[in-house]
Chain A
Protein backbone atom coordinates (compact mmCIF):
# COMPACT_ATOMS: atom_id res chain seq x y z
CA UNK A 1 0.00 0.00 0.00
CA UNK A 2 1.54 3.27 -1.12
CA UNK A 3 0.66 6.57 0.54
CA UNK A 4 2.03 8.62 -2.32
CA UNK A 5 1.56 7.55 -5.90
CA UNK A 6 2.41 9.53 -9.01
CA UNK A 7 2.19 8.00 -12.44
CA UNK A 8 3.35 9.62 -15.64
CA UNK A 9 2.99 13.22 -14.45
CA UNK A 10 3.63 15.79 -17.15
CA UNK A 11 3.67 19.53 -16.72
CA UNK A 12 4.88 22.04 -19.28
CA UNK A 13 5.65 25.72 -18.78
CA UNK A 14 6.01 27.07 -22.29
CA UNK A 15 8.99 25.27 -23.79
CA UNK A 16 10.12 23.86 -20.47
CA UNK A 17 9.05 20.43 -19.28
CA UNK A 18 8.98 20.75 -15.50
CA UNK A 19 7.63 17.20 -15.18
CA UNK A 20 8.24 14.79 -18.02
CA UNK A 21 6.67 11.46 -17.12
CA UNK A 22 7.38 11.63 -13.40
CA UNK A 23 6.65 8.49 -11.33
CA UNK A 24 6.75 8.06 -7.59
CA UNK A 25 5.72 5.34 -5.13
CA UNK A 26 6.21 5.96 -1.44
CA UNK A 27 5.07 3.49 1.24
CA UNK A 28 3.33 4.70 4.40
CA UNK A 29 5.23 5.94 7.43
CA UNK A 30 8.65 6.59 5.96
CA UNK A 31 10.78 9.58 5.08
CA UNK A 32 11.33 9.62 1.35
CA UNK A 33 13.89 11.84 -0.30
CA UNK A 34 13.35 13.55 -3.65
CA UNK A 35 16.84 14.44 -4.73
CA UNK A 36 17.85 16.62 -7.64
CA UNK A 37 19.49 19.86 -8.70
CA UNK A 38 17.74 23.22 -9.00
CA UNK A 39 15.10 23.11 -11.70
CA UNK A 40 14.89 19.30 -11.75
CA UNK A 41 11.13 19.41 -11.12
CA UNK A 42 11.10 18.64 -7.40
CA UNK A 43 8.96 21.62 -6.40
CA UNK A 44 6.59 21.10 -9.31
CA UNK A 45 6.12 17.47 -8.23
CA UNK A 46 5.39 18.54 -4.64
CA UNK A 47 2.94 21.21 -5.81
CA UNK A 48 1.12 18.69 -7.99
CA UNK A 49 0.83 16.20 -5.13
CA UNK A 50 -0.27 18.92 -2.69
CA UNK A 51 -3.14 19.94 -5.05
CA UNK A 52 -1.65 23.37 -5.74
CA UNK A 53 -1.25 22.97 -9.49
CA UNK A 54 -2.96 21.01 -12.25
CA UNK A 55 -0.76 18.68 -14.27
CA UNK A 56 -1.18 18.28 -18.03
CA UNK A 57 -1.09 14.49 -17.91
CA UNK A 58 -0.83 11.64 -15.46
CA UNK A 59 -2.49 10.65 -12.21
CA UNK A 60 -1.53 11.03 -8.60
CA UNK A 61 -3.00 10.03 -5.27
CA UNK A 62 -2.19 10.96 -1.71
CA UNK A 63 -3.32 8.85 1.25
CA UNK A 64 -5.65 7.01 -1.11
CA UNK A 65 -7.33 10.13 -2.52
CA UNK A 66 -7.01 11.32 -6.08
CA UNK A 67 -5.40 14.77 -6.19
CA UNK A 68 -7.63 15.89 -9.03
CA UNK A 69 -11.07 14.54 -8.13
CA UNK A 70 -10.74 14.45 -4.33
CA UNK A 71 -8.63 17.55 -3.71
CA UNK A 72 -10.57 18.56 -0.57
CA UNK A 73 -9.91 15.18 1.06
CA UNK A 74 -6.26 15.30 0.03
CA UNK A 75 -6.00 18.71 1.73
CA UNK A 76 -7.32 17.22 4.97
CA UNK A 77 -4.57 14.58 4.78
CA UNK A 78 -1.50 16.69 4.09
CA UNK A 79 0.71 19.38 5.48
CA UNK A 80 2.74 21.51 3.09
CA UNK A 81 5.95 23.24 4.05
CA UNK A 82 7.15 25.17 1.03
CA UNK A 83 10.52 26.69 0.24
CA UNK A 84 9.85 29.94 2.07
CA UNK A 85 8.87 29.87 5.72
CA UNK A 86 5.18 30.52 5.13
CA UNK A 87 4.32 31.84 8.56
CA UNK A 88 3.12 35.26 9.66
CA UNK A 89 6.10 37.29 10.83
CA UNK A 90 4.21 39.83 12.89
CA UNK A 91 2.29 37.29 14.95
CA UNK A 92 3.88 35.13 17.64
CA UNK A 93 4.61 31.46 17.07
CA UNK A 94 1.63 30.54 19.22
CA UNK A 95 -0.71 32.93 17.39
CA UNK A 96 0.39 31.42 14.09
CA UNK A 97 -0.36 27.87 15.19
CA UNK A 98 -3.70 28.83 16.74
CA UNK A 99 -4.67 30.65 13.53
CA UNK A 100 -3.72 27.69 11.32
CA UNK A 101 -5.47 25.33 13.75
CA UNK A 102 -8.65 27.41 13.50
CA UNK A 103 -8.37 27.39 9.72
CA UNK A 104 -8.12 23.60 9.84
CA UNK A 105 -11.47 23.66 11.61
CA UNK A 106 -10.45 23.25 15.26
CA UNK A 107 -12.36 25.23 17.87
CA UNK A 108 -10.49 27.78 19.94
CA UNK A 109 -9.82 25.48 22.90
CA UNK A 110 -8.55 22.63 20.73
CA UNK A 111 -6.50 24.97 18.55
CA UNK A 112 -4.80 26.41 21.61
CA UNK A 113 -4.01 23.07 23.18
CA UNK A 114 -2.72 21.69 19.85
CA UNK A 115 -0.54 24.79 19.44
CA UNK A 116 0.89 24.23 22.91
CA UNK A 117 1.68 20.61 22.12
CA UNK A 118 3.40 21.40 18.84
CA UNK A 119 5.42 24.25 20.34
CA UNK A 120 6.67 21.75 22.92
CA UNK A 121 7.46 19.07 20.35
CA UNK A 122 9.50 21.52 18.27
CA UNK A 123 11.31 23.15 21.17
CA UNK A 124 9.60 26.51 20.73
CA UNK A 125 7.82 26.82 24.08
CA UNK A 126 10.15 29.51 25.36
CA UNK A 127 9.84 31.62 22.22
CA UNK A 128 6.11 30.90 21.83
CA UNK A 129 4.88 34.41 22.53
CA UNK A 130 7.58 36.35 20.72
CA UNK A 131 7.00 37.75 17.24
CA UNK A 132 8.17 35.30 14.56
CA UNK A 133 10.39 37.96 13.00
CA UNK A 134 12.68 37.63 16.03
CA UNK A 135 13.15 33.89 15.38
CA UNK A 136 16.31 32.34 13.90
CA UNK A 137 16.07 30.60 10.52
CA UNK A 138 15.96 27.18 12.19
CA UNK A 139 13.19 28.25 14.57
CA UNK A 140 11.11 29.65 11.73
CA UNK A 141 11.46 26.42 9.80
CA UNK A 142 10.43 24.37 12.80
CA UNK A 143 7.38 26.58 13.32
CA UNK A 144 6.65 26.19 9.62
CA UNK A 145 6.80 22.40 9.96
CA UNK A 146 4.67 22.50 13.13
CA UNK A 147 2.02 24.47 11.20
CA UNK A 148 1.92 21.66 8.65
CA UNK A 149 1.30 19.06 11.36
CA UNK A 150 -1.75 20.51 13.09
CA UNK A 151 -4.13 17.74 12.03
CA UNK A 152 -1.39 15.06 12.31
CA UNK A 153 -1.58 14.57 8.55
CA UNK A 154 -0.91 11.29 6.79
CA UNK A 155 1.65 13.05 4.60
CA UNK A 156 3.95 15.99 5.16
CA UNK A 157 5.62 17.66 2.17
CA UNK A 158 8.88 19.42 2.92
CA UNK A 159 10.37 21.40 0.07
CA UNK A 160 14.08 21.96 0.71
CA UNK A 161 13.58 22.50 4.42
CA UNK A 162 17.22 23.15 5.26
CA UNK A 163 18.26 25.39 2.37
CA UNK A 164 19.82 28.53 3.78
CA UNK A 165 20.16 27.25 7.34
CA UNK A 166 23.37 27.12 9.33
CA UNK A 167 24.54 23.68 10.58
CA UNK A 168 22.83 24.15 13.92
CA UNK A 169 19.53 25.13 12.34
CA UNK A 170 19.85 22.20 9.98
CA UNK A 171 20.34 19.75 12.84
CA UNK A 172 17.32 21.18 14.67
CA UNK A 173 15.17 20.77 11.56
CA UNK A 174 16.46 17.24 10.98
CA UNK A 175 15.46 16.34 14.54
CA UNK A 176 12.00 17.76 13.90
CA UNK A 177 11.64 15.72 10.70
CA UNK A 178 12.68 12.50 12.44
CA UNK A 179 10.23 13.24 15.25
CA UNK A 180 7.44 13.74 12.70
CA UNK A 181 8.13 10.42 10.98
CA UNK A 182 8.40 8.63 14.32
CA UNK A 183 4.79 9.69 14.95
CA UNK A 184 3.62 7.92 11.82
CA UNK A 185 3.49 10.73 9.25
CA UNK A 186 4.89 9.92 5.82
CA UNK A 187 7.38 12.63 4.86
CA UNK A 188 8.29 13.58 1.31
CA UNK A 189 11.45 15.64 1.51
CA UNK A 190 13.00 17.42 -1.44
CA UNK A 191 16.65 18.27 -1.22
CA UNK A 192 19.71 19.15 -3.25
CA UNK A 193 21.97 17.42 -0.76
CA UNK A 194 22.76 13.72 -1.11
CA UNK A 195 24.03 13.88 2.43
CA UNK A 196 20.68 15.09 3.77
CA UNK A 197 18.70 12.42 1.92
CA UNK A 198 21.16 9.83 3.18
CA UNK A 199 20.81 11.02 6.78
CA UNK A 200 17.02 11.08 6.85
CA UNK A 201 15.42 9.03 4.12
CA UNK A 202 14.54 5.35 3.93
CA UNK A 203 14.18 5.63 0.17
CA UNK A 204 15.48 8.14 -2.37
CA UNK A 205 14.21 9.10 -5.80
CA UNK A 206 16.70 11.00 -7.92
CA UNK A 207 15.13 13.39 -10.46
CA UNK A 208 16.46 15.45 -13.29
CA UNK A 209 14.67 17.13 -16.20
CA UNK A 210 11.34 16.18 -14.59
CA UNK A 211 12.09 12.47 -14.78
CA UNK A 212 13.23 9.83 -12.35
CA UNK A 213 16.79 8.79 -13.12
CA UNK A 214 17.50 6.53 -10.16
CA UNK A 215 15.68 5.10 -7.21
CA UNK A 216 16.39 2.96 -4.19
CA UNK A 217 17.59 2.89 -0.63
CA UNK A 218 20.40 5.24 0.34
CA UNK A 219 22.68 2.19 0.62
CA UNK A 220 21.91 1.05 -2.90
CA UNK A 221 22.42 4.51 -4.37
CA UNK A 222 25.60 5.04 -2.42
CA UNK A 223 26.95 1.76 -3.77
CA UNK A 224 26.28 3.04 -7.26
CA UNK A 225 27.68 6.45 -6.51
CA UNK A 226 30.68 5.02 -4.72
CA UNK A 227 32.19 5.81 -1.37
CA UNK A 228 33.50 8.99 0.15
CA UNK A 229 36.10 11.04 -1.65
CA UNK A 230 39.48 12.21 -0.53
CA UNK A 231 40.75 15.49 -1.86
CA UNK A 232 44.52 15.84 -1.71
CA UNK A 233 46.82 18.76 -2.31
CA UNK A 234 50.34 17.57 -3.12
CA UNK A 235 53.63 19.38 -3.25
CA UNK A 236 54.96 17.17 -6.06
CA UNK A 237 54.08 17.08 -9.75
CA UNK A 238 50.29 16.82 -9.66
CA UNK A 239 49.88 14.91 -12.94
CA UNK A 240 52.40 12.30 -11.96
CA UNK A 241 50.87 11.88 -8.49
CA UNK A 242 47.34 11.59 -9.91
CA UNK A 243 48.43 8.93 -12.36
CA UNK A 244 50.14 6.91 -9.70
CA UNK A 245 47.24 7.25 -7.24
CA UNK A 246 44.54 6.59 -9.82
CA UNK A 247 42.75 9.86 -8.94
CA UNK A 248 41.23 12.71 -10.91
CA UNK A 249 42.71 16.19 -11.13
CA UNK A 250 40.62 19.23 -10.30
CA UNK A 251 42.31 21.77 -12.59
CA UNK A 252 40.80 24.77 -10.90
CA UNK A 253 41.91 23.98 -7.38
CA UNK A 254 44.98 21.96 -8.31
CA UNK A 255 43.84 19.06 -6.15
CA UNK A 256 43.47 15.34 -6.72
CA UNK A 257 40.22 13.54 -5.89
CA UNK A 258 40.32 9.85 -5.08
CA UNK A 259 37.35 7.62 -4.34
CA UNK A 260 37.70 5.78 -1.06
CA UNK A 261 37.13 2.11 -1.89
CA UNK A 262 39.03 0.22 0.77
CA UNK A 263 39.45 2.66 3.60
CA UNK A 264 41.21 5.92 4.18
CA UNK A 265 44.24 4.21 5.74
CA UNK A 266 44.86 2.37 2.50
CA UNK A 267 45.14 5.69 0.67
CA UNK A 268 47.43 7.15 3.30
CA UNK A 269 49.66 4.06 3.10
CA UNK A 270 49.80 4.30 -0.69
CA UNK A 271 50.79 7.96 -0.45
CA UNK A 272 53.50 7.04 1.97
CA UNK A 273 54.75 4.12 -0.16
CA UNK A 274 54.92 6.32 -3.21
CA UNK A 275 56.74 8.99 -1.26
CA UNK A 276 54.25 11.72 -2.18
CA UNK A 277 54.33 14.69 0.21
CA UNK A 278 50.80 15.78 1.09
CA UNK A 279 50.02 19.37 2.02
CA UNK A 280 46.35 18.91 2.69
CA UNK A 281 43.97 15.98 2.81
CA UNK A 282 40.20 16.17 3.18
CA UNK A 283 37.67 13.40 3.46
CA UNK A 284 34.17 14.27 2.21
CA UNK A 285 30.91 12.79 0.96
CA UNK A 286 30.27 12.65 -2.77
CA UNK A 287 28.67 15.83 -4.09
CA UNK A 288 25.41 15.82 -5.97
CA UNK A 289 27.37 16.38 -9.17
CA UNK A 290 29.49 13.30 -8.55
CA UNK A 291 26.41 11.28 -7.68
CA UNK A 292 24.76 12.34 -10.93
CA UNK A 293 27.85 11.50 -12.88
CA UNK A 294 27.88 8.04 -11.39
CA UNK A 295 24.14 7.41 -11.71
CA UNK A 296 23.61 8.73 -15.20
CA UNK A 297 27.04 9.16 -16.65
CA UNK A 298 26.21 12.79 -17.30
CA UNK A 299 26.38 16.12 -15.55
CA UNK A 300 23.22 17.44 -13.89
CA UNK A 301 21.50 20.23 -15.75
CA UNK A 302 21.90 23.57 -14.09
Chain B
Protein backbone atom coordinates (compact mmCIF):
# COMPACT_ATOMS: atom_id res chain seq x y z
CA UNK B 1 0.00 0.00 0.00
CA UNK B 2 2.67 2.49 1.01
CA UNK B 3 4.76 1.19 -1.89
CA UNK B 4 1.93 1.99 -4.30
CA UNK B 5 1.33 5.39 -2.73
CA UNK B 6 5.01 6.33 -3.05
CA UNK B 7 5.00 5.03 -6.64
CA UNK B 8 2.06 7.29 -7.42
CA UNK B 9 3.81 10.30 -5.83
CA UNK B 10 6.83 9.61 -8.05
CA UNK B 11 4.60 9.29 -11.10
CA UNK B 12 3.19 12.72 -10.25
CA UNK B 13 6.74 14.05 -10.08
CA UNK B 14 7.04 13.27 -13.80
CA UNK B 15 3.68 14.86 -14.57
CA UNK B 16 4.90 17.98 -12.74
CA UNK B 17 7.99 17.93 -15.01
CA UNK B 18 5.78 18.03 -18.10
CA UNK B 19 3.81 20.89 -16.68
CA UNK B 20 6.93 22.91 -15.88
CA UNK B 21 8.78 22.02 -19.08
CA UNK B 22 6.23 20.97 -21.69
CA UNK B 23 8.55 21.30 -24.69
CA UNK B 24 10.43 18.07 -24.06
CA UNK B 25 7.36 15.80 -24.28
CA UNK B 26 5.81 17.93 -27.03
CA UNK B 27 8.89 17.50 -29.21
CA UNK B 28 8.79 13.80 -28.35
CA UNK B 29 5.26 13.56 -29.70
CA UNK B 30 6.14 15.64 -32.75
CA UNK B 31 9.02 13.26 -33.43
CA UNK B 32 6.58 10.33 -33.69
CA UNK B 33 4.44 12.30 -36.13
CA UNK B 34 7.52 13.28 -38.12
CA UNK B 35 8.66 9.65 -38.40
CA UNK B 36 5.15 8.76 -39.51
CA UNK B 37 5.19 11.39 -42.24
CA UNK B 38 8.71 10.51 -43.39
CA UNK B 39 7.89 6.83 -43.79
CA UNK B 40 4.30 7.33 -44.89
CA UNK B 41 4.95 9.80 -47.69
CA UNK B 42 8.70 10.14 -48.32
CA UNK B 43 9.61 6.43 -48.43
CA UNK B 44 6.10 5.00 -48.62
CA UNK B 45 5.76 5.35 -52.40
CA UNK B 46 8.76 3.05 -52.90
CA UNK B 47 7.61 0.33 -50.53
CA UNK B 48 5.14 -2.32 -51.58
CA UNK B 49 3.12 -4.45 -49.24
CA UNK B 50 3.27 -8.19 -50.01
CA UNK B 51 -0.23 -9.62 -50.18
CA UNK B 52 -1.52 -6.23 -51.26
CA UNK B 53 -2.91 -3.26 -49.41
CA UNK B 54 -2.22 0.38 -48.80
CA UNK B 55 1.19 1.24 -47.28
CA UNK B 56 -0.24 3.85 -44.86
CA UNK B 57 -2.65 1.23 -43.54
CA UNK B 58 0.28 -1.19 -43.17
CA UNK B 59 2.60 1.40 -41.64
CA UNK B 60 0.47 2.86 -38.84
CA UNK B 61 0.37 -0.15 -36.50
CA UNK B 62 4.09 -0.71 -37.17
CA UNK B 63 4.85 2.88 -36.27
CA UNK B 64 2.91 2.47 -33.02
CA UNK B 65 4.86 -0.65 -32.12
CA UNK B 66 8.13 1.11 -33.00
CA UNK B 67 7.31 4.05 -30.75
CA UNK B 68 6.52 1.65 -27.87
CA UNK B 69 9.92 0.04 -28.33
CA UNK B 70 11.76 3.35 -28.55
CA UNK B 71 10.37 4.10 -25.09
CA UNK B 72 13.08 1.88 -23.60
CA UNK B 73 15.46 4.78 -24.23
CA UNK B 74 13.46 7.23 -22.09
CA UNK B 75 13.18 4.77 -19.24
CA UNK B 76 16.88 3.88 -19.20
CA UNK B 77 18.00 7.51 -19.46
CA UNK B 78 15.79 8.76 -16.64
CA UNK B 79 16.55 5.83 -14.38
CA UNK B 80 20.30 6.35 -14.88
CA UNK B 81 20.00 10.10 -14.31
CA UNK B 82 18.35 9.61 -10.90
CA UNK B 83 20.92 6.99 -9.90
CA UNK B 84 23.81 9.16 -11.09
CA UNK B 85 22.64 12.28 -9.25
CA UNK B 86 22.15 10.50 -5.93
CA UNK B 87 18.37 10.85 -6.06
CA UNK B 88 18.00 7.06 -6.04
CA UNK B 89 20.23 6.93 -2.94
CA UNK B 90 18.01 9.50 -1.26
CA UNK B 91 14.94 7.35 -2.04
CA UNK B 92 16.77 4.35 -0.64
CA UNK B 93 17.43 6.20 2.63
CA UNK B 94 13.71 6.96 2.98
CA UNK B 95 10.98 4.81 4.54
CA UNK B 96 9.37 3.83 1.21
CA UNK B 97 9.05 0.41 -0.43
CA UNK B 98 12.01 -0.70 -2.50
CA UNK B 99 9.72 -1.12 -5.52
CA UNK B 100 8.44 2.47 -5.34
CA UNK B 101 11.03 4.15 -7.59
CA UNK B 102 10.43 1.52 -10.29
CA UNK B 103 6.65 1.86 -9.93
CA UNK B 104 6.97 5.62 -10.32
CA UNK B 105 8.86 5.01 -13.54
CA UNK B 106 6.18 2.57 -14.76
CA UNK B 107 3.39 5.06 -14.04
CA UNK B 108 5.16 7.97 -15.71
CA UNK B 109 6.38 6.11 -18.79
CA UNK B 110 3.12 4.27 -19.41
CA UNK B 111 1.29 7.60 -19.27
CA UNK B 112 3.78 9.13 -21.68
CA UNK B 113 3.51 6.21 -24.10
CA UNK B 114 -0.27 6.16 -23.94
CA UNK B 115 -0.21 9.82 -24.99
CA UNK B 116 2.19 8.95 -27.82
CA UNK B 117 -0.13 6.18 -28.95
CA UNK B 118 -3.11 8.53 -28.89
CA UNK B 119 -1.24 11.09 -31.00
CA UNK B 120 -0.30 8.42 -33.55
CA UNK B 121 -3.89 7.16 -33.66
CA UNK B 122 -5.26 10.62 -34.34
CA UNK B 123 -2.40 11.51 -36.70
CA UNK B 124 -3.01 8.25 -38.57
CA UNK B 125 -6.72 8.94 -38.94
CA UNK B 126 -5.88 12.39 -40.33
CA UNK B 127 -3.62 10.97 -43.08
CA UNK B 128 -6.12 8.35 -44.11
CA UNK B 129 -5.47 5.30 -41.91
CA UNK B 130 -8.64 3.47 -40.89
CA UNK B 131 -9.61 0.84 -38.33
CA UNK B 132 -11.70 -1.67 -40.26
CA UNK B 133 -12.28 -4.20 -37.49
CA UNK B 134 -14.58 -4.10 -34.46
CA UNK B 135 -13.98 -1.93 -31.35
CA UNK B 136 -13.11 -4.97 -29.20
CA UNK B 137 -10.29 -6.02 -31.53
CA UNK B 138 -9.03 -2.44 -31.79
CA UNK B 139 -8.95 -2.17 -27.99
CA UNK B 140 -7.01 -5.44 -27.80
CA UNK B 141 -4.52 -4.03 -30.32
CA UNK B 142 -3.97 -0.99 -28.10
CA UNK B 143 -3.52 -3.21 -25.05
CA UNK B 144 -0.94 -5.37 -26.84
CA UNK B 145 0.96 -2.25 -27.87
CA UNK B 146 0.99 -1.02 -24.28
CA UNK B 147 2.07 -4.47 -23.13
CA UNK B 148 5.12 -4.19 -25.39
CA UNK B 149 5.91 -0.81 -23.80
CA UNK B 150 5.51 -2.37 -20.34
CA UNK B 151 8.09 -5.05 -21.16
CA UNK B 152 10.48 -2.41 -22.56
CA UNK B 153 10.14 -0.49 -19.30
CA UNK B 154 11.81 -3.27 -17.37
CA UNK B 155 14.68 -3.52 -19.82
CA UNK B 156 15.10 0.24 -19.36
CA UNK B 157 15.00 0.04 -15.57
CA UNK B 158 17.54 -2.78 -15.57
CA UNK B 159 19.91 -0.94 -17.91
CA UNK B 160 19.51 2.35 -16.04
CA UNK B 161 20.25 0.77 -12.65
CA UNK B 162 23.05 -1.46 -13.85
CA UNK B 163 25.02 1.01 -15.93
CA UNK B 164 24.64 4.27 -14.10
CA UNK B 165 27.02 6.23 -16.29
CA UNK B 166 25.90 7.90 -19.49
CA UNK B 167 27.62 5.36 -21.76
CA UNK B 168 25.11 2.55 -21.50
CA UNK B 169 22.12 4.75 -22.10
CA UNK B 170 23.88 6.17 -25.15
CA UNK B 171 24.36 2.59 -26.34
CA UNK B 172 20.64 1.93 -25.87
CA UNK B 173 19.83 5.06 -27.85
CA UNK B 174 21.91 3.81 -30.76
CA UNK B 175 20.87 0.16 -30.56
CA UNK B 176 17.12 0.78 -30.71
CA UNK B 177 17.43 1.92 -34.32
CA UNK B 178 18.84 -1.25 -35.92
CA UNK B 179 16.70 -3.43 -33.65
CA UNK B 180 13.67 -1.32 -34.50
CA UNK B 181 14.27 -1.49 -38.24
CA UNK B 182 15.20 -5.17 -38.27
CA UNK B 183 11.54 -6.02 -37.81
CA UNK B 184 8.31 -5.86 -39.75
CA UNK B 185 7.43 -2.48 -38.24
CA UNK B 186 8.30 -0.49 -41.37
CA UNK B 187 8.61 -3.07 -44.13
CA UNK B 188 7.33 -6.61 -44.52
CA UNK B 189 9.78 -9.42 -43.74
CA UNK B 190 8.84 -10.96 -47.07
CA UNK B 191 10.60 -8.19 -48.98
CA UNK B 192 13.90 -8.93 -47.17
CA UNK B 193 16.53 -11.58 -48.04
CA UNK B 194 15.22 -14.86 -46.61
CA UNK B 195 17.67 -15.12 -43.69
CA UNK B 196 17.15 -11.51 -42.67
CA UNK B 197 13.40 -11.89 -42.99
CA UNK B 198 13.56 -14.87 -40.62
CA UNK B 199 15.47 -12.81 -38.05
CA UNK B 200 13.01 -9.93 -38.43
CA UNK B 201 10.03 -12.25 -38.00
CA UNK B 202 11.40 -13.41 -34.64
CA UNK B 203 11.84 -9.86 -33.41
CA UNK B 204 9.28 -9.31 -30.59
CA UNK B 205 8.51 -5.96 -32.19
CA UNK B 206 7.30 -7.77 -35.32
CA UNK B 207 4.87 -9.86 -33.29
CA UNK B 208 3.25 -6.76 -31.81
CA UNK B 209 3.22 -4.91 -35.14
CA UNK B 210 1.67 -7.85 -36.98
CA UNK B 211 -0.88 -8.52 -34.25
CA UNK B 212 -1.90 -4.86 -34.19
CA UNK B 213 -2.33 -4.89 -37.99
CA UNK B 214 -4.48 -7.96 -37.78
CA UNK B 215 -6.61 -6.57 -34.94
CA UNK B 216 -7.05 -3.13 -36.50
CA UNK B 217 -8.05 -4.86 -39.76
CA UNK B 218 -5.03 -3.55 -41.68
CA UNK B 219 -2.87 -5.43 -44.20
CA UNK B 220 -0.23 -7.57 -42.43
CA UNK B 221 2.18 -7.79 -45.35
CA UNK B 222 2.47 -11.53 -44.72
CA UNK B 223 1.30 -14.33 -46.91
CA UNK B 224 2.13 -17.13 -44.47
CA UNK B 225 4.43 -18.37 -41.73
CA UNK B 226 4.35 -18.82 -37.96
CA UNK B 227 4.19 -15.09 -37.30
CA UNK B 228 1.22 -14.52 -39.60
CA UNK B 229 -0.69 -17.43 -38.09
CA UNK B 230 -0.08 -16.77 -34.40
CA UNK B 231 0.64 -13.04 -34.27
CA UNK B 232 -1.69 -12.24 -31.35
CA UNK B 233 -0.33 -15.07 -29.21
CA UNK B 234 3.24 -14.07 -30.00
CA UNK B 235 2.43 -10.42 -29.19
CA UNK B 236 1.19 -11.63 -25.83
CA UNK B 237 3.98 -14.13 -25.20
CA UNK B 238 7.05 -12.10 -26.16
CA UNK B 239 6.44 -9.15 -23.82
CA UNK B 240 5.44 -11.45 -20.98
CA UNK B 241 8.64 -13.41 -21.47
CA UNK B 242 10.72 -10.22 -21.55
CA UNK B 243 9.00 -8.94 -18.40
CA UNK B 244 9.48 -12.31 -16.70
CA UNK B 245 13.20 -12.01 -17.35
CA UNK B 246 13.76 -8.32 -16.70
CA UNK B 247 11.54 -7.72 -13.65
CA UNK B 248 13.67 -10.09 -11.51
CA UNK B 249 16.85 -8.71 -13.11
CA UNK B 250 15.75 -5.16 -12.23
CA UNK B 251 14.95 -6.18 -8.66
CA UNK B 252 18.37 -7.79 -8.44
CA UNK B 253 20.07 -4.67 -9.85
CA UNK B 254 18.29 -2.59 -7.21
CA UNK B 255 19.38 -4.94 -4.43
CA UNK B 256 22.93 -4.86 -5.74
CA UNK B 257 23.10 -1.15 -5.07
CA UNK B 258 23.62 -2.38 -1.48
CA UNK B 259 26.93 -4.04 -2.37
User: Which listed segment binds B: A22-30, A48-56, A180-188, A286-294?
Assistant: A48-56
Determine whether B94 belongs to the interface, using a CB cutoff of 8 Å to chain A.
Answer: yes
Interfacial chain B residues near A141, Cβ < 8 Å: none
Contact B258 A84 (CB under 8 A): no
Those of B96-117 within 8 Å (CB) of chain A: 96, 100
Complex: A79 Cα to B95 Cα, angstroms: 11
A80-B90, A83-B86, A91-B20 known; A72-B258 Cβ under 8 A: no
Beta-carbon contacts of B13-38 to A below 8 Å, as 1s and 0s?
A: 10011001100000000000000000
| Minimum Cβ distance to chain B for residue A291 (Å) | 28
Complex: A131 Cα to B17 Cα, angstroms: 10
Other-chain residue from A53, A80, A85, A88 in contact with B13 (beta carbon distance below 8 A): A88
Contact A52 B258 (CB under 8 A): yes
Complex: A70 Cα to B83 Cα, angstroms: 24
Complex: A85 Cα to B85 Cα, angstroms: 7
Interfacial chain B residues near A147, Cβ < 8 Å: 90
Contact A52 B13 (CB under 8 A): no
Contact A90 B20 (CB under 8 A): yes
Contact B95 A75 (CB under 8 A): yes
Q: A-B pairs with CB below 8 Å: how many?
A: 71
Other-chain residue from A84, A85, A91, A103 in contact with B6 (beta carbon distance below 8 A): A103
Other-chain residue from B12, B17, B93 in contact with A75 (beta carbon distance below 8 A): B93
Contact A86 B259 (CB under 8 A): no
Interfacial chain A residues near B92, Cβ < 8 Å: 51-52
Beta-carbon contacts of B64-98 to A below 8 Å, as 1s and 0s?
A: 00000000000000000000011101111111100
| Minimum Cβ distance to chain B for residue A70 (Å) | 12
Determine whether A207 belongs to the interface, using a CB cutoff of 8 Å to chain B.
Answer: no
Interfacial chain B residues near A53, Cβ < 8 Å: 257-259
Closest B residue by C-beta to A71: B95
Contact A50 B86 (CB under 8 A): no
Contact B259 A76 (CB under 8 A): no
Closest B residue by C-beta to A72: B95
Determine whether A191 belongs to the interface, using a CB cutoff of 8 Å to chain B.
Answer: no
Interfacial chain A residues near B21, Cβ < 8 Å: 90
Complex: A100 Cα to B90 Cα, angstroms: 10
Complex: A53 Cα to B259 Cα, angstroms: 6
A78-B93, A99-B13, A105-B2 known; A84-B20 Cβ under 8 A: no
Those of A91-150 within 8 Å (CB) of chain B: 91-92, 95, 99-100, 102-105, 131, 147
What range describes how many residues of A lie at the interface?
20 to 34
Other-chain residue from A51, A90, A91 in contact with B93 (beta carbon distance below 8 A): A51
Determine whether B9 belongs to the interface, using a CB cutoff of 8 Å to chain A.
Answer: yes
| Minimum Cβ distance to chain B for residue A183 (Å) | 20
A91-B13, A103-B6 known; A82-B89 Cβ under 8 A: yes
| Minimum Cβ distance to chain B for residue A283 (Å) | 37
Contact B87 A105 (CB under 8 A): no
Interfacial chain B residues near A47, Cβ < 8 Å: 89
Contact B9 A99 (CB under 8 A): yes
Closest A residue by C-beta to B89: A82
Residue in B93, B94, B258 whose Cβ sees the most chain A Cβ within 10 Å: B93
Contact B17 A91 (CB under 8 A): yes
Residue in B87, B91, B257 whose Cβ sees the most chain A Cβ within 10 Å: B87
Contact A52 B257 (CB under 8 A): yes
| Minimum Cβ distance to chain A for residue B81 (Å) | 10
Contact B17 A90 (CB under 8 A): yes
Interfacial chain B residues near A95, Cβ < 8 Å: 16
Interfacial chain A residues near B6, Cβ < 8 Å: 103
Those of A205-256 within 8 Å (CB) of chain B: none
Interfacial chain A residues near B87, Cβ < 8 Å: 86-88
Complex: A96 Cα to B12 Cα, angstroms: 12
Interfacial chain B residues near A100, Cβ < 8 Å: 90, 94
Interfacial chain A residues near B2, Cβ < 8 Å: 105
Interfacial chain B residues near A104, Cβ < 8 Å: 94-95
| The 4 residue pairs across chains A and B that have the minimum distance between CB atoms | A86-B86, A80-B93, A84-B86, A86-B90
Additional A-B contacts beyond A85-B85, A99-B9, A131-B20 (7; CB < 8 A): A51-B92, A54-B259, A72-B95, A78-B93, A82-B90, A100-B94, A104-B95
